[in-house]
Amino acid sequence: MEEGKSVLPHRCPQDIRHLYVPVHEIADKVHTVRETFKTQKTFPLSFRKEQLRRLYYVLEDHADEFVDAMYHDMGKPRKDALMELTSCLNEICHTVENMEHWLADQEVKSDLNFCMASTRIKRKPLGVALIMTSFNAPLSGAVWPLSSAIAGGNCFVLKPAEGSPGVAALWTKYLYENLDKSFHTVVNGEIPETTELLNQKFDQISCTGSATVGRIVATAAAKHLTPCVLELGGKNPVLIDRDVDLDDAAKKIAWARTMFGGQTCLCPERDATDYILVHPDQTTELIAKVEHHWSQFWSQPLINDPKYGRVVHKRAYERITSLLGPSRIPAEASEADLFLPPMILRVERDDPLMSQEIFGPIVCVLECSSIEDAISFVNSGDRPLAVYPFSKNSKWVETVLQKTLAGTATVNDLMLSGGPAGFEFGGVGESGYGKLKGRAGLYSFTSAMTIVETPKWMGYLTGVRFPNATPFDDWLASLGKPKPKFSRKVGSADKVGKNRTGIVSNATPLTWAVAMLVVAAALHKDGGIREIGRWACMISKAVPDL
């Protein structure tokens, strides 16, 4: 084998254009799924659990096919693919085990105006959900929202990323063969098919992708007032304190920045760039340690190590190398094999690498002399999906967590905030909105129906609301007026609620009022509401300080 050439198996991405859905058929496919939802077929919990069970075994039984497809689609190493698949299986199991509890009617402790009524929240399916995946996470980008959508009682349309055609073909085949055919469909295609799909009305849209794609999806959804969950990834800073285990931080950075060739949404990156903020005194040592760990991770030559990922396609390779510039492209890089070795570079803030998202195995180091400077730099750009503080000092860490705005955070580690099953996951601002996974994910795919139910006997009390009920309208209307635990004095509200939880209200007068009305109603069962109100008013005069 010629030196510098990869000896790994040749990647052969599938051509799945024969699976593309004709544009003129897309509306009918969505309509068919919506008709199924109208039958309420997906409403029983038993149906939802059965579909999740089947989804689990689609992945379990065909794991090797999905793993192989991810290698051929994007050069994803086997271990990285298995880790993604395992996280999906965990999420499905966690959802099945907890969904009945999450979906149970939730009692609401109301204020005393409604103390005699039943107040609760019922979770209801939204309808038909559109789920759009990304090429770099073709399993989790589908399974995380799918678990929530199915558990929520929705029908769904899956649009796999065209950048992972092998995985898309497997989704098309095995979802059709294993899940109930009537409540879902898979639409494959590129821009024309996706555009037509977004022209349809959906009840929820989940999209994993770039900020550019997120804006297109959000704009299309707005035409139908459709809510979205947008997981747009990226833009995540690493902040390193001077009081830190630098070798431990370097090892984790070395792993995270090169997992799947740096092409994951949780890689340390910021504002369309990938970077670390560190004190100038630590820069040289940090770079040396990161490079050392890279040398320990893989065999040489690196191009032949199957555990090291590849750039997904030629366009991505050309974009990354253009940001690097000819002088910084490593000699061992290979466009033919889509191979780029890992790089850690000290850069200035106006470096071309800082102008857009790298999405590759390159990490930039920026020097900051203080935590205030580092936090200011983080907050000067778009809000990240995750923030990663490294320090032995808990107060320093808390300062970073308090003063930066991000969707998630991992302390003294990287890329773990999306790992735990059931742990809600999502961005903020430019990195997206809405939540996936767990209870929060389920709530993204359901609506909260608030229910107030009054017993018939409560007519004695609720009758006072009618205009002709009683001559004491003003008094009755003011019964629910709260008495605040704070005064007009500035700062008097600061301590309210610190030692207790609950609703602040004028409980005692309202309790007496309710008691008086009940007593008056009992004494005058045959009396009208006016007579009951008159007796209640007489009783109130006998109660001091009411």
The set of catalytic residues is: 231, 265
- Short-list 509, 508, 483, 511, CA closest to 496: 483
Q: Compute the distance between CA of residue 208 and CA of residue 204 in angstroms, rounded to an integer.
A: 14
Q: Is 524 exposed, middle or buried (0-12, 13-18, 19+ CB in 10 A)?
A: middle
Report whether 359 contacts 365 (CB < 8 A): no
Q: Give the DSSP letter of residue 61.
A: H
Write phi, then psi, for 334 (nearest 5 degrees): -135, 110
DSSP-assigned letters across all residues of 317-329: HHHHHHHH-GGGS
Greatest alpha-carbon pair distance for the chain in Å reads 103
**Structure-block tokens of residue 408:** 């998630």
Pairing state between β 446-453 and 118-125: antiparallel
**Structure-block tokens of residue 494:** 């600061």
**Structure-block tokens of residue 347:** 């850069």
Residues 6+ apart with CB under 8 A from 265: 134, 136, 137, 208, 231, 232, 233, 234, 385
Q: Compute the distance between CA of residue 150 and CA of residue 157 in angstroms, rounded to an integer.
A: 11
Q: How far is CA 329 from CA 323, 325, 339, in A?
A: 10, 7, 11
Write phi, then psi, for 300 (nearest 5 degrees): -115, 145
Which residue matches tokens 């271990």? 79
Q: Compute the distance between CA of residue 90 and CA of residue 101 in angstroms, rounded to an integer.
A: 18
What is the 3 state secondary structure string of 208-261?
A: ECCHHHHHHHHHHHHCCCCCEEEECCCCCCEEECCCCCHHHHHHHHHHHHHHHH
Residues counted in the chain: 546
Q: Is the dihedral of CA 211, 152, 103, 418 positive or negative?
A: negative
Q: How far is CA 58 from CA 89, 94, 150, 170, 496, in A?
A: 10, 17, 15, 9, 53
Write phi, then psi, for 241 (nearest 5 degrees): -80, 160
